[in-house]
Amino acid sequence: MDIGSIIPRTVENPNRRSSSYKKQSRFKGSLRQIRGELLRILQKKEGDIAELQRCSRLLIESDPVRIKKAAESLKAEGFVKETAGVYTIQ
């Protein structure tokens, strides 16, 4: 028996009573998904936003502004670096 599938149906999650509890947004189509996809691509190659966008179906379907925002957040957190518009893994 899978106890992990039974417990959520029988016991209330105590974390939800916390005043700071916030349900996470959907992953599909989120900025988190775009960030993950950028990191996956950057492990294999480097490039500017347009070049990285062409490497993935998910990114092709995404708005370039959101891709740039995701890349800049990765840069701010130290995961990637950018030199003259070209992004690489840090």
**pLDDT of amino acid 19:** 73
Residue 4 lies in a domain: no
Residue pLDDT, tens place only, 21-65: 777 788 888 899 999 999 999 999 999 999 999 998 888 888 899
Q: Report how many domains make up the chain.
A: 1
Residue 62 lies in a domain: yes
**pLDDT of amino acid 20:** 75
Is the predicted pLDDT of residue 78 greater than 90, yes or no?
yes
| Structure-derived torsion over alpha carbons of residues 22, 26, 32, 34, reported in degrees to the nearest 10 | -160
CATH number where 54 lies: 1.10.10.10
User: Two tokens at 37?
Assistant: 């996809």
Domain housing 71: 27-89
N-term to C-term CA, the chain: 44
Name the more confident of 80 and 22: 80
Residue 51 lies in a domain: yes
Residue 67 lies in a domain: yes
